[in-house]
Structure 1
Amino acid sequence: MLDLTHDAWLSRAKDLDLSGVHHIDGVDEPGGGATYAAVSPRDGQVLAQIADGGAAEVDAAVAAARRAFDTGPWPRLAPADRGRALLRLADLLDEQRDRLALTVSLEMGKPITDAYDIELRAAVNTFRFYGQLADKLTDESPHTAPDALALVTREPAGVVGAVVPWNFPLTLASWKVAPALAAGCTVVLKPSENSPLSALHLARLATEAGLPPGVLNVVTGNGATAGRALGLHPDVDVLAFTGSTAVGRHFLRYAADSNLKRVWLELGGKSPNIILPDAPDLEKAAATAAWGIFFNQGAMCTAPSRLLVHTSVAERVTEAIVRRAHELRVGDPLDPATEMGALVGESHLDRVLDHIGTGTAEGARLRTGGTRTLAGTGGSYLQPTVFDRVNPGMRLAREEIFGPVLSVLTFDDLDEAVTLANATEYGLAAGLWTSDLSTAHRVSRALKAGTVWVNCYEEGDLTVPFGGMKQSGNGRDKSAHALEKYTELKTTWIQL
């Protein structure tokens, strides 16, 4: 982390030049002239006017990506050359890490320490990983009849549309963009309307790194216009989306109504975190549970929002989490000492408060938090919130809140815990705390989730795939498996 004070970050924020125009075919484009205000959730102030793209801007970006794919050099480069370009981009991201971290913090409320140490580290590492992986893939030549030669080759799928949310604007963009580019595809990226500025700077750095015009384009705008236009576009071959399950359904419909493009979805979660009495360290389990729900203001698809804890240790664990919530420093995202920043905006804060109100009305017990704080700043801040006495039928236990709100449910035996954990339409992630190796294996297999963490939470690196089951989506980000989304298998049979 750069050794900068709160005042130093505030000074840099005042001097930051933020441009909100599209980046299409290697240059900045203002589009049709319509704009909207990007408002910082830290203080309610306008950061920049953002180009509000629609069908015309998406058409221009897709046309640029199509030209770059059909006639440009990118898909025809040696994979090692594509890899070197991605490594140059990673270096530029690293060089401008403080600027990008500041942009992320301003536009979506993430604490500057987390933006610098976690968000930017992840983005840099992702481009480096796929830059290094680009020339490590191999094709196949299956053994077949002696008078024939069979070849199975991976070819880039074409033009990729990527639509990403605001909670990790650069991390999730890099998880889509980097493997798509490594595979030889071209990309049109549509960032969230709440966090467009960091994505636009990423695209400019990609051009500076030497990516040919049209290889990475960014169109800003609202999901109902720019996102819809990208999903319906007949010249987009693959659509990769991270966001809500409701919007994921729209993209499946767009594909059906257009060209049957492949749609890869990483959607919501209501992840269970199971703490058994034989957890190796109950205090660590409680501290990790608190960190998992309050990190990033609770805006994580994998957030362990349902704490399933054995009745015999439930009060001890819950009290430890409540103590941590009281200690947590909520404040200005630009203060390096801040542990929990602002929610992304007033409408999202209102939505989370509505869930809290419903939880109280349905009979859950509010142990701490539940109200907004720091209202005088003009920002969208919420106290870390813990409910217990939650039952599986309550809205708190069923719906994704996407905020710093923990629901504590109890169980008496292991079978009940697994049943509670799987009693959700989602299947993104789960946690389990136990000292018993057999229990760890058996329960991990029984949990319907794309990732299961045992005696930890939110751990891993780029070598392992990430994605969900059930209504948490399909396909995988990260690892070599992500390349499967952006490539086509071709069989060539040669009669000798």
Structure 2
Amino acid sequence: MSRTHAEWQQLAATLGIEGRLFIDGEYAHAHDSRTFNCINPATGDKLAEVAWSAAADVDAAVAAARRAFESGVWSGLPPLKRGKILKRFAALIRQHRDELALLETLDMGKPIGDSTTVDVPGAAYCVEWFAEAIDKVGGEVAPVDPKLVGLVTREPVGVVAAVVPWNFPILMASWKFGPALAAGNAVIVKPSEKSPLTAIRLAGLAKQAGIPDGIFQVLPGGGDVGKLLALHMGVDCIAFTGSTAVGKLIAGYAAQSNLKRVWLELGGKSPNIILEDCPDLARAARTAAGAIYYNMGEMCTAGSRVLVQRSIKERFLEEFRKAAQRYYPADPLDPAAGMGAIVDQIQFDKVLSYIDQGRGEGATLICGGQATQVESKGYFIEPTAFDCPHPDLTICREEIFGPVLSVITFDSIDEAVRIANDTEYGLAAAVWTANVSTAHQVSRRLRAGTVWVNCYDEGGDMNLPFGGFKQSGNGRDKSLHALEKYTELKSTLIKL
């Protein structure tokens, strides 16, 4: 059921919010009773007090996860039974769509239209997809000496800590706990302190679905909680989505402790290349606007660098200016909002500082460039774009994580590929061309985990792996490849 702006506001006014952590099947306060305020970035109002997990809580969650895992109450279930429980979990996520979407929107500022149509349904789909996959993935019988039988099997890795980001809280969490649970692991989710509310609520739904106590737990708090999990000797695997800087720390903590498996999905500065034979320049401009302004630009895959061939640059910019107007910030509870609020004051100030730096380094403002307010409050920034004189400006090289686009001009395909690959990142890229040979050739040369041709950010299904090259991380979310991350390979040899 679609709701009006007023109906969403009314629902928000009566929404009950759970702020406690979830350990061994029960909601509880932090061991030391510490809390932090969860703030609505669109209004600055306090939403709830949320538990800040203490070291004792981390130890308790890891111990509960270990007991549950080793008991076999989850890992020992036949895959079909485990899948049925996960399908119930997915159904409950769908059943509570509006509640979860509202929590997501109030918590991190994204438009309610996106929360209801992308984030929550996407999370349910992810859990369901892996639930349906687990009884269809088998092992191998290896070709060995006839006097032997050689078996290759996969077993769950054990206790998995999932440290997830604030920009797509429920969706990115599901990309971790979906395959990890499906593989038979016990999972501890550490949501960002900027947006913890949906993860906390999911814990109750997981229990309602029949996931055993200790198998799905949630520890809200700050970076210290993630560090404790990464250092913990009782955690077998840590999966992290966030900045490259923090990802390096996570990897270091894992190395310092027990060499736990580490999977990292990190930053990006993704190039969107518009060649002069682009088949539809107006559509390319609209797509480029969506690629940077969707979710307020708070996306690791944001198309934050548009590389446009000189011969079509002015026509492209004319179309882009029109397209950008669709993303002017509005109340996130308005179903018609194109953009919502920046997640918090820290990120708001960071984005504005990059805009000032762009001006100071000689970039020409194409559109936006200012903070704005909705009903005289909130952290809102206009959709902003700069025409950059060269690709070495700070705004062209560093991940801003906000609605700020750098437009870079090139003359030849070789130059475009060189600029595109001249980055520490390698998460995503796109190329627009009417020539199928050019599309294949450029795609092969782009050092990125995902390359789109004549589109951007397409492919919402779970069949394609997602992840990056270089300092954009390792491992892959989504697809059957994600199941591999949360299992260990075992070779068994039987002498006949």
TM-score band (shorter)? over 0.9
Q: CA deviation at 1:54?
A: 2.5
Structure 1 residue identity aligned to 2:307 = L
**Overall identity of the aligned pairs, in %:** 54
Distance in 2, Cα, partners of 1:195 & 1:377: 23
Match of 2:19 in 1: 20
Match of 1:401 in 2: 400
Q: CA deviation at 1:57?
A: 1.1
Within the alignment, does 1:219 sit opposite 2:219 as a pair? Answer: yes
Match of 2:268 in 1: 269
SS in 1 for 2:141: coil
Match of 2:129 in 1: 129
Match of 1:162 in 2: 162
- Does the Cα contact within 8 Å between 1:42 and 1:377 map onto a contact in 2? no
What CA deviation, in whole Å up to 9, does each residue of 1:198-217 have, x standing for no partner?
00111110000000000000
Alignment of 1:203-352 (within 5 A): 203-223=203-223, 225-352=224-351
SS in 2 for 1:360: helix
Structure 2 residue identity aligned to 1:155 = E
Distance in 2, Cα, partners of 1:257 & 1:347: 30
Match of 2:432 in 1: 433
Alignment of 1:156-195 (within 5 A): 156-195=156-195
Distance in 2, Cα, partners of 1:320 & 1:279: 13
Distance in 1, Cα, partners of 2:415 & 2:440: 17
Alignment of 1:381-460 (within 5 A): 381-460=380-459
SS in 2 for 1:366: strand
Match of 1:490 in 2: 490
What CA deviation, in whole Å up to 9, does each residue of 1:265-310 have, x standing for no partner?
0000000000001111111011000011000000110000000000
Structure 1 residue identity aligned to 2:276 = P
Distance in 2, Cα, partners of 1:389 & 1:207: 52
- Does the Cα contact within 8 Å between 1:390 and 1:397 map onto a contact in 2? no
Structure 2 residue identity aligned to 1:46 = K
TM (normalized to structure 2)?
0.99
Structure 2 residue identity aligned to 1:192 = S
SS in 1 for 2:478: coil
Distance in 2, Cα, partners of 1:395 & 1:147: 64
Distance in 2, Cα, partners of 1:48 & 1:490: 46
- Does the Cα contact within 8 Å between 1:18 and 1:48 map onto a contact in 2? yes
- Does the Cα contact within 8 Å between 1:329 and 1:337 map onto a contact in 2? no
- Does the Cα contact within 8 Å between 1:306 and 1:406 map onto a contact in 2? yes
What CA deviation, in whole Å up to 9, does each residue of 1:344-369 have, x standing for no partner?
01110000000010010000001111
SS in 2 for 1:295: helix
Match of 2:52 in 1: 52
Q: CA deviation at 1:390?
A: 4.0
Match of 1:374 in 2: 373
Structure 2 residue identity aligned to 1:240 = A
What CA deviation, in whole Å up to 9, does each residue of 1:423-452 have, x standing for no partner?
000000001100111111111110000000
SS in 2 for 1:379: strand
Match of 1:353 in 2: 352
Distance in 2, Cα, partners of 1:425 & 1:328: 29
Distance in 2, Cα, partners of 1:229 & 1:458: 34
What CA deviation, in whole Å up to 9, does each residue of 1:433-483 have, x standing for no partner?
001111111111100000000011101120010000000000000000001
Distance in 1, Cα, partners of 2:366 & 2:484: 45
TM (normalized to structure 1)?
0.99
- Does the Cα contact within 8 Å between 2:58 and 2:228 map onto a contact in 1? yes
Structure 1 residue identity aligned to 2:446 = L
Distance in 2, Cα, partners of 1:296 & 1:485: 28
Structure 2 residue identity aligned to 1:452 = V
Match of 2:114 in 1: 114
Distance in 1, Cα, partners of 2:56 & 2:469: 35
Q: CA deviation at 1:328?
A: 2.8
Structure 2 residue identity aligned to 1:345 = D
What CA deviation, in whole Å up to 9, does each residue of 1:101-120 have, x standing for no partner?
00000000010000000111
What CA deviation, in whole Å up to 9, does each residue of 1:53-112 have, x standing for no partner?
121111111111111101141000001111111100000000000000000000000100
Which 10-residue stretch deviates more, 385-394 or 21-30? Answer: 385-394
What CA deviation, in whole Å up to 9, does each residue of 1:370-411 have, x standing for no partner?
111016532100000010034211101100000000100010
- Does the Cα contact within 8 Å between 2:326 and 2:338 map onto a contact in 1? no
Distance in 1, Cα, partners of 2:462 & 2:239: 18
Q: Which contiguous aligned blocks of 4+ residues in structure 1 show a shift greater than 3 angstroms?
A: none
Structure 2 residue identity aligned to 1:411 = F
Which 10-residue stretch deviates more, 177-186 or 387-396? Answer: 387-396
Distance in 1, Cα, partners of 2:122 & 2:134: 18
Alignment of 1:448-487 (within 5 A): 448-460=447-459, 461-487=461-487
Distance in 1, Cα, partners of 2:142 & 2:181: 27
- Does the Cα contact within 8 Å between 1:390 and 1:407 map onto a contact in 2? no
Distance 1:327 1:152, change over 3 A: closer
Distance in 2, Cα, partners of 1:290 & 1:200: 33
- Does the Cα contact within 8 Å between 2:329 and 2:374 map onto a contact in 1? no
Structure 1 residue identity aligned to 2:454 = N
Q: CA deviation at 1:144?
A: 1.4
SS in 1 for 2:466: coil
SS in 2 for 1:373: strand
What CA deviation, in whole Å up to 9, does each residue of 1:156-201 have, x standing for no partner?
0000000001100011000000000000001000000011110011
Q: CA deviation at 1:31?
A: 1.5
Distance in 2, Cα, partners of 1:151 & 1:305: 47
- Does the Cα contact within 8 Å between 2:330 and 2:374 map onto a contact in 1? no
Structure 2 residue identity aligned to 1:5 = T
SS in 1 for 2:146: coil
Paired residues in the alignment total 494
Distance in 1, Cα, partners of 2:231 & 2:256: 7
SS in 2 for 1:74: coil
Distance in 2, Cα, partners of 1:121 & 1:157: 28
Match of 1:197 in 2: 197
Distance in 1, Cα, partners of 2:113 & 2:389: 33
- Does the Cα contact within 8 Å between 1:271 and 1:429 map onto a contact in 2? yes
Distance in 1, Cα, partners of 2:377 & 2:248: 35
Structure 1 residue identity aligned to 2:65 = A
Match of 2:364 in 1: 365
What CA deviation, in whole Å up to 9, does each residue of 1:25-54 have, x standing for no partner?
111011220001000101000000000112
SS in 2 for 1:98: helix
Distance in 2, Cα, partners of 1:313 & 1:61: 57
SS in 2 for 1:175: helix
Within the alignment, does 1:69 sit opposite 2:34 as a pair? Answer: no
In structure 2, the gaps of 5 or more residues are: none
- Does the Cα contact within 8 Å between 1:120 and 1:170 map onto a contact in 2? yes
- Does the Cα contact within 8 Å between 1:107 and 1:197 map onto a contact in 2? yes
In structure 1, the gaps of 5 or more residues are: none
Match of 2:30 in 1: 31
